[in-house]
Structures are given as structure tokens and as C-alpha cells.
Structure 1
Amino acid sequence: MPASRFRWRAPKFLLALVAGFSAFTPTSAHADDAPAQMTRGADISPALQLRLELVVNGRTANRLIPVTLQDGHLSVAARDLREAGIDRDWSIDSTVDLSAQAGMTAKYTEADQKLLLTVPPQWLEGSRLAIAAKRSRILPKSDFGVLINYDLYVAHSEQDTHGSLWSEQRLFGGLGILSNTGSIWFDTSGGAKRYLRYETRWTYVDDGAIRTYEAGDLVTRTLPWTNPVRMAGAQVSRDFSVRPDVVTYPLPGFAGTAAVPSALELFVNGYRAAATTVEPGPFVVDELPYVNGAGEATVVTTDAQGRQVQTSASFYVATTLLRPGLADYAFSLGRLRRDFGTSRTGYGEWAASASGRFGLTRFMTIEASLEAAGDHRLLGFGGVLKLGNLGVVDASASASRQYGRDGSQVALGYQYTGRGFNLMARAVRRSPDYADLSSVAARDYRLPSRQWQAQANVILGRELGNLAASYVETRQGDQRFRLANLSYYKSLWGRSSLHLSAVRDIERGTTSAMAQWVVPLGRQGSAVAGIERTPRGNARAVLDYGRAVPSEGGLGWSAGASHASGERDRYRGDLTWRNSALQVQAGAFGTGTQTTGWGELSGSLVMMDGGIFAANRINDAFALVSTDGVAGVPVHYENQKVGTTDAKGHLLIARVPSYYAASFAIDARDLPADVQVPFTRQRSAVKNGSGRLLHFPVSRSRAAHVLLVGEDGAPLPAGSKVTSASGEETWVGFDGRAYLENLQDDNRLTVMKADGTRCQVAFEYLSKDPGVDRVGPLPCR
């Protein structure tokens, strides 16, 4: 019944009672002190106090509130309305007459004792929806171990035989990673042999603070408009790659209003990205799913009656920006390294550098850089600004003073990434005396005075293909280098594709071009046929075929040949064989009768958990699965079988992305019945450059069916309770046997019979045979 029509009529005897009570009121009471409802006449109804369940725009508040009903008017405390999400300018201690509120409809349903309120959606407090799925994070760890990567390469021709052995050694654990890289070079014809050390460094990552500490040979972390250098020293920096769960750039939001509880669907660039529910009132989609560049988002709300409201808006996401309040930085101190990769390598003067970025707003990130070394100083400032949905512009200006000469640099860039069109342009202009740490490290090296770079990619359509163009220009004094490139790609029938490209060296006046037709053949193979135009103007025909190595390992090979007028024919061929322990390659190439043969062997050795394991080259992280010496246990990584444990119960998984919370599992279905496995799956994350020991406790239980008999030799009655000395409980079956696990060499059992009497059994169990044994009969006394 609507509240506006509800009228409570008091019985006549109650009205008479009220009137009689008024007649006997003491004469000292003043009329002004009487309640208002008792002075307006006998037909005024008294207030009725109710406790009703509040429902606002179809959303249940899940609580009862006090409601006053009088003369068809419903009144509620303003505090209760505010707690239900209705945001108006009522005083917190006031009482609100619901029938006097324009725009509000109130209804009291006596059958289910509810107060139904309908208000404009804008009256309700807004809700925030996290559409973007939160990336799960598991604390990454690193267990103690040693890793050695190696790569042996040998080449032989008629002139000589030469080769190199590159190796990397890593010692990792909870205190970080100590690594060293270097190569041994040898030449059999001249008898020369030498070792070149590349980098020796200690690295520790504090992923909680997103901070990386480095000491030793390192490369400075810099801004895009400054140049990194090699030095021997220490560096503290922020590296967001160690926290894949942290989104560093601003993601767009989206606002809307729902009149009633509705289902919400989010479409990004025409694809359904997420779905959730929304309560009545304004709502804000805090973050769209992770996207980059320009796009369009559409939010569709559907109520219980099937009515839909659709709202669309364009957006632009720039990954080069930082979220407001987020900082990125790097501080380096050490001696500059000279002639890296040569036998003359050494260390020069002391130098220091610092750089930082800070997210000022959702649209702007500011940057700064500082360098110092001997007679060198540099100071620079820059920023990245998002131009609405038109792209991102970045600009920087820096000044240097080196050996008493002042210089300056100005850089300006623009980038736009769209669904069908990408554009990038950058210009850098330097004065003749501008210098940074790279020129200090390389002595007389000078940076180019002018650099231009532009690149554009456009998707012409599914039937027309893709077109790309680029231009690069570099000037240093009177010397100038200019290069223009144009390329085209189109998918053809049968999964084949066409590739066209042309490169123009403007200064030399030469042009090279290429046309290729790529045809997939089978699951692993592909053939390439093409025509090339060399810078000399000759035409060259090229034919190649390759078969990749299967992901599970095996044999792959490739071969190719080319013919050009006025030049010698070229040919090449190679074989690749790979298994879980190493990779072997061999091949030959040459022109005419001059042939060079080569061979390569690469892989890694891991020393961990008391064993040595061979694997393919490990560039990032790995995991070692242990099953406590149980062999032949299938191991799954991300729900894909990757192998079985060896004779000592180990399996090395060589390629595990660092900081990724991956799933590792074992398959215990084929294990013997006496094998116990507390758990078969775990999720783990590994720090970069290190390994993780994943322990799956697999143990054999000493179990047996024990035949228990009474003093008369008859089996004990079924249902008798058996308790071992360790507290294990079981029951006697119909055949008088009880199944017991975790038996010891000496065992004592207590049996509670069905009639309440007790007896005990003591026996030795020395069997080492696998499986479930049978013991008894054993008398219970």
C-alpha cells in the first residue's frame, strides 16, 4: 500500500481513553507543554514506530532502520540515509520526512516489512570499480647455487682455424648474485691465445622497495636523452621490471551512472575486456585493462529488465609517463671504463651520475640528469607531456662544461600509437662543444651535432597489408649521413606472405631493394624465395629453406643459396640439434671454392641441492624440482608436462621468466600406493639471474594390513578401535585385519573391542619391501 494513502485509524475505545486521561491532567500542567498531537484534535493519529529493511533503488542495505509512521508520513533519521549512500545536504542529527522530498518516492510494504526508496541516481554516493585485473604477486626468492653458461665456437677455413670459448659464472643466493663473464680466444695458425674479461659484478634486488644495488663493472642507467657509460663502481637504481604487478604509467578511467543494480560490460577497441556488476548511482571505472596508445572504450550497463545504456569515450595511454607521485631514479659512482672488449681495457678517472623521473600529474612527467667527472659537468632537465588523445611529446635541454668549453643540447620528440597508425619523430641538436660522460670515457669522441629520426607505420587494411617508412640523419661537422627506408608486408594465400623493402643511402646515391615470398611448409619448416638489388646495382636471386628445432628438442636445419650477375654464387647450410642438456650446431658457408666450416656447442651447468645438472643456456632464471629421491615423477610447469625426475628425484626447468608467479606441479597418480605426497602443486616466483629449489615431499610410508586375533585364535570382531603408540587410529575390518601406516621397527597397539574390553599387541616390523605388506596373525592380550 503506498505511503501517501496509508492512514492508521485508532479504535474508538482508545480515543476515549486518551480523552479521559486528558480530563484528569493536573491543573499545574500548561497547554504549551503538551505534545502537539494531543492538542490538534481527537482525530490525529499517534506516531507508530517501525523497524524496516531499507531498499534503495533496488539495492538492499542489509540492515534494519527505525522508521516513524504518522498520518501517512514516513520519517527516517538523516544519519541512516547517509549510511545507506544517499548524499544530500541534510543535517546529520535531523529527521527527514520522506514524503516531503521532491524527487524521492517512498513505499512501505507491510507484508515483508521493507521501506522501498527510489531516488535520482545522482543522489547516491559513487562507487569505484577496479576493472583491470590485479596482477598477483608472490614474493620472489633465490636459493643458493652456482650456474655456468658456456658457448664454444670454432671456425675453419683454408687460411686458419680460430675460435672462442665464452663463459658466464654466477654464484647466487639470498645475498644477491656474484657474476663474471669473459672469453678465451684462440687461433691455431698463429698459436695465439688470450682471455678477455668483460664484467664482474655483484647485484642485489630489493623487490619490496623496487630498488637494485650493483657493485663492480656496470652500465649506468640513464634517461632517453642521455648516453649510458660503463664504469667500475656502485649504482643504486629503481628497476620496475622486478615488480610486474606494478603498473607504472597512468591508466584511463571511465565514469557513468546506473539507476538500478545493473550488469556492466567493458569493451576496449571493440573487444569485450571485462564484466562486473554495479550498484545504483554514479560509478567510476578506475582503470581500464592494460592497453597502450589510442583507443576507444565502451561501457554497457544492463538492468534486470534488459534495458541497456551504452556510453563510449576515446582514450590515449602513454607508457612513457609515470603515475602521479611515482619516482624513478639512478645514482652511479665509479671509474670510467675504457676500451671495453679489447685487450687494452682499463679504467680511467672517477665519475658520478644521477638521473630521475617523477610523475607530476596524469599528463606530465618531469625528468632531470646530472653528471660530473674531473673537468666535466652536465646538468639537464626534461619532461614528457600527453597531448590529450593526440599523442605524447617529450622535450629536454641540457648544458655541459668540459675542459673549459661550454656546450648545450636540445631534444624534442613526438610519438603517437594508434590502432591503425603509428608515428615517431625525434630531433636532437647540439652545439660544437657539448659533451657528456661518453666522450670522457672515449677520450676524443664527440657526439653528432645534429640527429633526426622519423618512423611511420600504417595498416592499410586486411586486404591491402601494412606499409612502413623511416628516415635517419646524422651530422658531425661537415660529415653527414642520411638513410631512407620503405617496406611493405601483406599476407597471401595458404599462410604465405609477401615482403618488399627499399633502402636509399642519400649521401652515396645508392639504392638496395628486396622482394621476398615466404611460404610455410609443414609444422616447423618455411621456404623463402626472393630477388635483391645490391647497392652496386646487381640483381641477386635468393632461395632459402629452414626447419626449426621442435620445442621439445630434436633436429633442425636450414640451407640457402644466392646467385647474382657479376658476383660469385653464395651458399650456406647448417644443422642444429638440441635436447634438454645442450645445443650443438654445425654448418658451412662460402662463395665459389672458398668455404668456411664452423661448429658451436652451448649450454649450462647448474650446481644445486648437492647435484650437477646440465641444461641449455640459461639467460634469466630457472627452477629445480626435487621429489626426495623418487625417480620417474612427471613434472608440470604452467599445466604443461616438462619432463620426469631423474634417478635422484630432480628435474631442472631451464627457462622460467623471473618474477613471474608460475605454477609448478607433480603428477602423483602413477606413484605406488605406499607413497605419500602432502601436496602436488605450488606457485613460486624466482628472482632474475638465479634459481629456485622447489621441494615436493614424496616419502614412502611403511604400511601393512595387520591380522589381529584373540587368545582363542579367532579374528577380533569388526569395528574394534585400534590405536598405535604414535596416536594413529584405525578400525578392525570384517576379516580381522587393520590397515596401519607409519609403522616403526617396534610397534605397540591398543585395541578397544565392541564390548568395551581392551587388549594390547606388540610386534616388530623390519620389512623394507615396497608396497603394503601383510602381518600376522598377532594375538591381542
Structure 2
Amino acid sequence: MATVAPARGSDLPVPALLDMAQPQEVFLEVILNGHASGRILRFRVTGDRLACDVSELAAAGLDPARLGRAGEIPLDEVPGLSYRYDAAAQRVELTVPDSLRLPFVADTRQLSGVPPAQGDRGVLLNYDAYLQSGGGAHLALWSELRYFAPSGVFDHTGTYYAGGGTGRYVRYDTAWTRSDPATTAVFQVGDGVTSALNWSRPVRFAGLQWRSDFALRPDLITFPLPALGGSAAVPSAVDLYVNNVRRASVDVPSGPFVLNQAPGITGAGQATLVTRDALGRTVTTALPLYIDARMLAQGLDSYGLEAGFVRRRYGLASFDYASHPAGSASWRHGVDDALTLELHGEATAGLANAGGGALVRLGQAGVLSGSLAMSGGRDAGRQVSLGYQWVRPDLAIDAELTQRSSGYADLAAREGSPAPRRLARLTLSLPFAPGQNLALSYIGLRAAGASDSRIGALTWLWSMGRIASLNLSAYRDFARPSAHGAFLSLNLALDGRTTASALAGSQGGQPYRNLQALRPADYAGGWGWGVQDGRSGGLRFRQAQLQYLGSAGQLTGLAQDTAGRQVASLDALGALVWMDGSLQPSRRIYDGFALVSTDGVADVPVLHENRPIGRTDRSGHLLVPDLNAYQANRLSIDSLALPADARVETVARDVVPQARSGVLARFPLSRYAAASIALVDEAGRPLPPGTRVRHAESGTDTVVGYDGLTFVSGLRERNRLDLEGDGWHCSVGFAYRSPTDGSLPRIGPLACPRQTEPGR
């Protein structure tokens, strides 16, 4: 029911005034539930009624979907809304229930926006050279040649084998890839792997591929997350706890609120919202959660579409493809937070395969999955799968059963890799004490032309903080009584980098033991080592390795003794990058990287996320490997270590490399041509402070300080200073040469005979 306040300064009630007026537009400040909204909206006043456009009310925080219609609406026709119009103050006070308000939405991950990915041009060569002696020298040289540009990445991999007087090269993959983070789409031409679902099998092929890749958007949450909400009577602070661990803290205004994309857990758990207002009053709300990363968020799609020729004998032959073309397609869609649908199809000459599946969340009771696929053509059959997963803090169950008929086939089976007729899998995980976990698993496998396997396994893990862990594992194949084993291992962390372990057990009735100690090289570089001694049945084996990790790569030397046969090997792992006219050696580069350039200035310290990683070389370059693609990586230079005459435009940059590409991070540096100049008069006395000085070549102005000193920048090889004092002026010339040590020199004293101005 609408109410209208009397107009201030009038003896007549407001309704009488409005009856004498025509409908009019007014702009009023909006007070929402006693709090200023910060909005001034347009209203229409007709008699004693106020009307407003729905879009205007939405700007003030009302939900348009709950107002009943679009366009202009009288406020007294909105159920639950009341208002008070103060004509003198030109404001309207709205009282609105939470059901009519738009909730305040807060992203509890509190991630900053990532700028668009950057791309530069260059060539990268990754290599891994392995040389082994013993019975003759053998060499294996793996290489990856990568050309990257803003338009995409060309990649070629292969291995050269040499030994016994012969050599051969085996090509692995050759492909060009273009990625679009805005649509999470990837287009690829060349060798690749087909997309697949949990109940289908991928194959290698050569051809065209169009697929989605959520890795292009690290900020995107692909699985359903609960929207946790509540209501605050006044502006408040809200803390989010998941399983009693605080995950986020946000400030919310009065009214309803929603915490979106809440960071949490996998499986079942509990979220607790604690709302605190300015007076310290708290309201606590507990909500159950269940999160499964296999599902897709509502409205989200993932897909893959391929067409080409299936690859055969990968790793053995460079060019062996099926003679008939093949196609494959996969699609997943998040219908809602509790249902994800899946489709997959394959086809080639004489074979067609298609199927569908779904993942269904059963509230807090886990996720049920299932699929049905059919094959036709020369090989006709069906495949049925059913799975269930339930994860709780005190129990985890993962079970799946896949059954295939004898005639069922897919692309992998057509190329000589038949699928098992029956596959059953069950895993139970029980964290029964702090730091302890017991896992039981069973795998049953039945395949054509092979004996059945029914393997049961038990694993017990006891983690004693960061110092030690104890692990007991045992297995048995119930289809083959002789296949069984049990092992007990102890792992110790001797310091921050050195670890030692001891393992003892039995496998197939034969005793087994292994002792080893390992100290890997630090990421910053240096030496690492490892030693091992063990016995399996009557076979004894020993080995020792020494490793060096530097900025240009990694070297590992290994000596082995197996049953009296000695073998020594040397492995070199690294990369070469050609970029910005410079050839840079590096450690092996897996994904994104950056080349820092300081425009030829050497020995400049470079930092990655405020951590020193090296100094620029003689050409003013430093290569920074191991950057996160499609994420902001902060690179900076230490300006305090620059020469005194160095001028830098910026000392920090956020670089966002594309996948498997490099970014040129340029920090423009220039030499500061400047000097302190001592000026004296004809008698050798310092010129007085405040004397105006003009550098004729650069046109800059300055003044003389104490002791006749002035500071002038923009110097040339030949310079002239024009000075002007109280009734006098003078000029002095001098030469300048930039110091080689980067210091700012002092020139002078320079005599500047003063000339008195006429009439002074």
C-alpha cells in the first residue's frame, strides 16, 4: 500500500496538491530499506501515485523478473513494496522485501582480470641427448622444433637413433595449432589425438581438429559450484568456511547476497557462512556441498571434431597411416548443476560407432554415470557402462563396470587394439585416523584371446607430518594364484631437499628390497645426486647419478651395475631459442616463456614474481622459462642495481604468453647524458645561487645551486650554457663524453666572465 508524505512548507495535504497538477516527471533520490542507494531515478507523479520504469528500478537493485511486467509500472501495484515520497527533499523511500531484490553477487575467488595473451615470433628447439656406453656406444637424440607467432604454433618432434654402425630418424608429430582464448577453441592441422570421453577411446591421427580447451581460460570454473547466499540487514562482512577452513572474506551491502564460485572441495562437505555487522552481531548459516569436477556447469559445452587418417605404429614408423579416412566427434553439455549429457561418434570405411551418456548428481549421495554405445558395419555390437562415485571426508567410493559384446568395435579396435570384453573397477578409500588412509581396490578384466585378471589390492598410508611416511601395499590376482606381492616402504625427509627411502617385500614369491637416497638440484641451479642399491630375487642392481642444473640446461651422469654388467650414460637436456635477433640457451621449455630485453644493457638483475632469477647477458637479454600460459606473470628489473646514468621507462611488466609460445618483455633503457657542472666568475668565485642557466643545445632551463654547482641533462659532445643574473649575463662552452663506468661526472670549474647589461 503506497503512502505519501506531506510536502514541507504547505498547509494542504499532498494529495490535494497533486490533484490540481498534471502528470509530471520528477527525478528523485532513492532510499532503499533505509539506506541510500546512490541512485537518482526518473519517476512519473500522477495524483497520489508514483510510477517508474522497470529498467530504472533494476538499476536501484530490484529484480525485473519479479516485478511482473516490463515498461512503466505504478509502485503501489507491486506486491510487498511500499514507499514514502518526500517532495520537498526530492527523494523517495522504498521498503522492499528481499524476494524483490537482486542479490549482491561476490566472486569469492577474488581473481583479478587477466589481460589478453601476447604473442611474438621466434623459433625454439628443445632437445634431449642420451648417450650410453656398454656393449658399444648408443645415442638417442630427441628434438622438438617449434615456430611460434601471434597466428599460432608450428611444432615438429622426432628422435634420431645411432649405434652399431647404423642410424635412423623416427618422426613423431607435426602440426600447426591456433588457439582462441575468447571462445576456448583450438584449431589444429596435422598429427594429433582425437577427443574422447570417459567411456570411449582416443586414437592418434593426422588431419583437421576443432576442439575446446578450457586451459585457455584459467579463470573459468568449468564444473558446477554452489551459489551460497543469505541476507544482511545492514552492510556486513561475510566469512566463508568450507569444512571448518576459512576460504574467503567479503564485504556485502544490506539486502540479499550470493557468494559465487566459492572455492572448496571435491566431493561432499559443508559450507558455513558467518555474517558480521558493524556492531559485531553474527549470524551463522551451514549449508551442505557436493562438488564433482567431472561435471559441466549449467550451459557450458565442451566438444571435439576430427577428420583425417588414423596413425599406425606410432614411435616405430614416421609415415604409416590408414588408407581410408576417418572421423570422430565428442560433445558434452551441462544441462543444469545436476545433469551433464555426453555424445560421441566415430566412422571410417565399414565402421560406424555412436553412443551417449550422462552424469547425474544424486544430491549429497554422489554422482551416477552411465553410457550406451553401438557399433555397426562389418563389426556390430554394443557397449554398456555404469559408474558411481561418492566422496566424503571419511569415505570415498569409486566404482565402474563396462561390458562389451563380442562384435563391438571402435577406431582403436579397427587398427589392432581391441577393447576388453569386460572391465570392472572398485575402489574404497577410508581415512580412519589423522594422517592415515586405508584403500581397497579391485580390478576385473576379461579380454578376447587373453586370460582373465581379477586383481585385489590393499594400501595403507601413514603420513607423519613432513618428516616421514610409512606405506604398506599388497596385491593378489585371484585368477592366477602365483601373482601376488606385498611391500612395506619408509620415506624420510632428511632436510628441505634430501630424501631417503627403504622398501622391502615380495613379488611372485621372490624377495625384493630397495634402498635409495636422493637430493635433486635446486630450481635456482646447482648440483644434485642420487644413489640406489637393491635386489630382486637373485638379481642385484646398483646405480649412482650426478646431476647439474644450470640456466642453459641440465646434465645427468649415471653409472649402473646390474648383475655384474656395468653401463654408464650421459643425458643432456635443454633448449635453444632464437628471438629478438639473439640465440639463447635455456633449460627445456615445456609451455610459455619470456625473453627479457634491456636494449643492450648488460648485467641487469631480473626478477620473476619478486624472486631474482638472473642477470641480462652482454646483449641485454635473459630468457625466463616456465611461465604459466594465459596467466599474468610479473617480470621486473632491479632499478637500484642500474648504473647511475641509466634511464628506464618501466621497471615491471605483466606478461601473458600463449600456449607453447614466447613473449618479448622489453624494458627500454637509455643512458642519461648529464653532469654536475661547477661555474665560477672571472675571479674564480662560485656564481651565486639562483642564477638562471639555459642549455643552448637542448633548450632546458635550470638554476645554479650552492658552491656554484648546476645539474644539466641532455648533454651533447659540444655544449653551451647561457647564464643570466641580476643585471648581468655570460656564456660558457664545454665538451662532454659519456663515462664508461655509468657514473654521473662533475665538470669544471668553468669560468664564465660576467657581462654587465647596459643601463644596470
TM range (shorter): 0.7 to 0.9
Determine whether 1:130 maps to 2:107. yes
Partner Cα distance (2:28, 2:317) in 1: 87
**Partner in structure 1 of residue 371 of structure 2:** 396
- Whether 1:382 aligns to 2:357 is yes
After the TM superposition, which residues 22-421 of structure 1 pair with which residues of structure 2 at under 5 Å, given as runs? Answer: 56-62=32-38, 77=50, 79=52, 125-157=102-134, 159-188=135-164, 191-289=165-263, 291-343=265-317, 345-349=319-323, 350-402=325-377, 404-421=378-395
Partners of 1:129 and 1:186 in 2: CA distance: 60
Who is 1:544 aligned against? 516
Tell me the residue number matched to 2:23. none
Following superposition, the deviation at residue 114 of structure 1 comes to 9.9
Q: Matched residues in 2 for 1:132 and 1:339: separation?
A: 46
For the residue of structure 2 that corresponds to 1:360, the secondary structure is strand
Secondary structure, aligned partner of 2:380: strand
- Alpha carbons 1:483, 1:504 under 8 Å: kept: yes
Alpha-carbon offset, residue 636 of structure 1 = 0.7
667, 671, 677: which is aligned to 1:700? 671
Q: 1:230 to 1:124 in 2, by over 3 A?
A: closer
Distance 1:37 1:180, change over 3 A: closer
* TM superposition score normalised by structure 2: 0.86
User: Aligned partner of 1:163: which letter?
Assistant: L
Q: Cα–Cα, structure 1 residues 656 and 5, in superposed 2: closer, same or farther, change >3 Å?
A: closer
- Paired with 1:205 and 1:4, the residues of 2 have a C-alpha distance of 60
Partner of 1:490: 462
Q: Answer yes or no: is the 8 Å Cα contact 2:605–2:641 preserved in 1.
A: no
- Residues 452 and 753 (structure 1), Cα distance of their counterparts in 2 relative to 1, 3 Å cut: farther
1:371–1:94 distance in 2 versus 1, CA, 3 Å? closer
Aligned-residue offset at 1:79: 4.7
Name 1:72's counterpart in structure 2: none
Query: Which sits farther off after the overlay, 223-232 or 126-135?
Result: 126-135
Aligned-partner Cα distance in 2 for 1:469–1:301: 42
Pairing partner for 1:592 from 540, 563, 579: 563
| Letter paired with 1:531 | A
CA shift for structure 1 position 661:
0.9
Structure 1 residue runs of 5 or longer lacking an equivalent are 19-33, 39-49, 68-74
**C-alpha displacement at 1:399, in angstroms?**
1.5
Query: Do the aligned partners of residues 674 and 120 (structure 1) sit closer, same or farther apart at CA in structure 2, a change above 3 Å counting?
Result: same
**CA spacing shift, 1:161–1:258, aligned 2, 3 Å:** same
Calculate percent identity across the aligned residue pairs: 34
The answer on whether the counterparts of 1:367 and 1:383 sit within 8 Å (CA) in structure 2 is: yes
Deviates further, 262-271 or 278-287: 278-287
Contact 2:42 2:52 in 1 (8 A): no
Please state whether the residue corresponding to 1:735 is helix, strand or coil: helix
Q: What secondary structure is seen at the aligned counterpart in 1 of 2:568? A: strand
CA change 1:545–1:85 in 2 (3 A) is closer
Counterpart of 1:28 in structure 2 is none
In 2, the alpha carbon distance for the partners of 1:502 and 1:765 equals: 81
| Superposed CA RMSD | 3.8
2:409 matches 1:435: yes
The one-letter code sitting in structure 1 at the alignment partner of 2:486 is A
Structure 2 match to 1:516: 489
Alignment-derived partner of residue 613 in structure 1: 584
- 1:425-504 aligned within 5 A: 425-442=399-416, 445-462=417-434, 465-477=436-448, 479-492=451-464, 495-504=467-476
Alignment correspondent of 1:687: 658
**Partner SS for 1:338:** coil
Contact kept, 8 Å, 1:123 with 1:281, in 2: the verdict is no
1:332-379 deviation digits (Å, cap 9, x = unpaired):
121221111114751222112122222222222222222221222122
How far has the Cα of 1:571 moved from its partner? 2.1
Code of the aligned partner of 1:331: L
Quick one: distance in 2 between partners of 1:63 and 1:170?
55
Aligned residues: 729
Which residue of structure 2 aligns with residue 47 of structure 1?
none
Contact 1:660 1:686 in 2 (8 A): yes
Q: Is the contact made by 1:260 and 1:279 (CA closer than 8 Å) also made in structure 2?
A: yes
Are the structure 2 counterparts of residues 753 and 90 from structure 1 closer, same or farther at C-alpha, using a change threshold of 3 Å?
farther
Aligned residue among 729, 735, 738 for 2:710: 738
Instruction: From the superposition, tell whether residues 638 and 498 of structure 1 become closer, same or farther in structure 2 (CA, over 3 Å).
Output: same
SS of 2:457's equivalent in the other structure is strand
Indicate conservation of the 8 Å contact 1:59/1:279, yes or no: no
**1:642 Cα shift?**
0.8
Q: Report the AA paired with residue 161 of structure 2.
A: W
Are 2:399 and 1:422 equivalent residues in the alignment?
no
* Distance 1:392-1:104 versus aligned 2 partners, 3 A rule: same
Q: Which residue of 1 aligns with 2:633?
A: 662
Counterpart Cα distance in 1 of 2:350 and 2:495: 63
Shift of the 406–96 alpha-carbon distance from structure 1 to 2, 3 Å rule, reads closer
Distance 1:253 1:314 in 2: 12
Deviation at 1:237, TM superposition (A): 1.3
- Paired residue for 2:758? none
Q: 5+ unaligned residues in a row in structure 2: which ranges? A: 18-25, 756-760
| Match in the other structure for 2:542 | 571
Residues 535 and 541 of structure 2 are in contact (CA less than 8 Å); yes or no, is this contact kept in structure 1? yes
CA distance in 1, matches of 2:16, 2:448: 100
1:651-683 CA-partner distances (Å, limit 9, x unpaired): 112222222211101101022211111111111
Kindly indicate whether the alpha-carbon contact (under 8 Å) linking 1:448 and 1:475 is maintained by their aligned counterparts in 2. yes
- The equivalences for 1:721-736 within 5 A come to 721-724=692-695, 725-736=697-708
CA distance in 1, matches of 2:74, 2:413: 75
Whether contact under 8 Å (2:76, 2:82) holds in the other structure is: no
Whether the aligned pair in 2 keeps the contact of 1:132 and 1:290 (CA below 8 Å) is no
Question: Deviation per CA, 1:282-309, whole angstroms, max 9, x where unpaired?
Answer: 2222331254322211111122222211
Matches within 5 A, 1:524-543: 524-535=497-508, 537-543=509-515
Greater mean alpha carbon deviation, residues 579-588 or residues 509-518: 579-588
**Displacement, 1:462?**
0.7
Opposite residue 587 of structure 2, the aligned amino acid is N
> Residues 153 and 165 of structure 1 are in contact (CA less than 8 Å); yes or no, is this contact kept in structure 2?
yes
**Relative to structure 1, is the Cα distance of residues 117 and 221 closer, same or farther in structure 2, using a 3 angstrom cutoff?**
closer
- Cα shift at 1:246: 1.7
- CA separation in 2, counterparts of 1:95 and 1:558? 78
Distance (whole Å) between structure 2 residues aligned to residue 691 and residue 56 of structure 1 = 52
Query: What is the CA deviation profile of residues 203-257 of structure 1, one whole-angstrom value per residue up to 9, with x for unaligned ones?
Result: 2222222221211222112222221111221212111112112222221112222
Q: 1:66 to 1:515 in 2, by over 3 A?
A: closer
Supply the distance in 2 between the matched residues of 1:554 and 1:127 (Cα, whole angstroms): 52
Residues 60 and 450 from structure 1, CA distance in 2 versus in 1: closer, same or farther, beyond 3 angstroms? Answer: same
The residue type paired with residue 192 of structure 1 is T
Q: Between 485-494 and 167-176, report the one with greater CA deviation.
A: 485-494
Offset of residue 557 of structure 1: 1.8
Indicate the residue corresponding to 1:43 in structure 2: none
TM-score by length of 1: 0.84
